[in-house]
Amino acid sequence: MNLILLGPPGAGKGTQAKRLTADLGIPQISTGDMLREAVREGSPMGLKAKSYMDAGALVPDEVVVGIVEERIQQPDCARGFMLDGFPRTTAQADALATMLDKKGLKLDHVVCIEADKEELVKRLSGRRTCRQCMAPYHVLFNPPKKEGVCDKCGGELYQRDDDKEEAIRARLVTYESQTAPLIAYYEERGLLRRVNGLGTVEEVYERIKQAIS
Ligand code: AP5
Ligand code: MG
Ligand code: ZN
């Protein structure tokens, strides 16, 4: 199965992807996680990406399209994959369509997780992320068993640089202007599955399973 998880920052894409990937046996491909990894390694691409990310802007299309194109060639994607945070512009969606066409693949579902702005800001401002496995936590809504430590891998939890108030606001504006048009794009192609992202992590998970079954 080839899936896209679409939705504003903080909607729960990463949270749900971590569960779905275990359940469906297909890898999560998060361009955000891959870019943060490049930043951490200090690669030239990471250094270039960091300024865009910290400002809440999008990294140039050609950079992320290149990352995804390379990633979906990997053997673990042979049975399908789940894109989290890609595509984010119409140009990226068109590039993805071309990429899949070339491989004789198609998309099965585009799951759009929806939540209102007030909820998104609450979720992002209390988020903590594992440095090692990138799992997202929340100080109130989804706390780890031991403060500051990842339940899954024991890694250290930190606050992402773009989870500060100013960057959060900028990311929400970027989403509305550049990514939200993809909702209509995929609706026209009959692929869009809207999912209410409010409620517990478990409730949202059940809705997604329903939407893709
Ligand atoms: P990226 O890492 O993709 O960030 P994002 O889209 O802003 O999304 P988030 O990761 O912030 O939110 P999420 O939906 O994954 O929510 P989560 O599950 O963590 O991108 C970062 C940056 O990289 C971009 O700004 C851009 O610069 C660049 N980039 C990445 N991809 C790009 C692309 N394709 N093109 C160009 N640039 C790109 O949950 C959020 C919080 O809520 C957590 O604390 C979680 O515990 C909590 N939570 C989750 N579900 C619930 C629930 N049901 N109830 C209560 N709390 C919940
Ligand atoms: Mg995420
Ligand atoms: Zn971890």
Instruction: Output the pLDDT for position 28.
Output: 97
Q: Interior CA angle at 14 toward 122 and 153, to 5°?
A: 105
**Mean pLDDT to the nearest integer, 147-161:** 96
Residue nearest to atom 48 of ligand 1 (CA): 12
Give the closest ligand to the alpha carbon of residue 7.
1
pLDDT band at 41 (very low <50, low <70, confident <90, very high): very high
Instruction: Output the pLDDT for position 204.
Output: 98
Q: What does the pLDDT look like over 77-128, one tens digit per residue?
A: 999 999 999 999 999 999 999 999 999 999 999 999 999 999 999 999 999 9
Instruction: Output the pLDDT for position 139.
Output: 96
The domains found in the chain, sorted by start residue, are 2-116+165-212 (3.40.50.300)
The reported pTM is 0.96
Instruction: Output the pLDDT for position 127.
Output: 97
SS3 140: coil
Instruction: Give the Cβ contact number of residue 157 at 10 Å.
Output: 22
Name residues contacting ligand 1 (CB within 6 A). Answer: 7, 9-15, 31-32, 35, 52-53, 56-59, 64, 85-86, 88, 92, 123-124, 127, 136-138, 141-142, 162, 171, 199-201, 204
Start-to-end Cα distance in the chain: 11
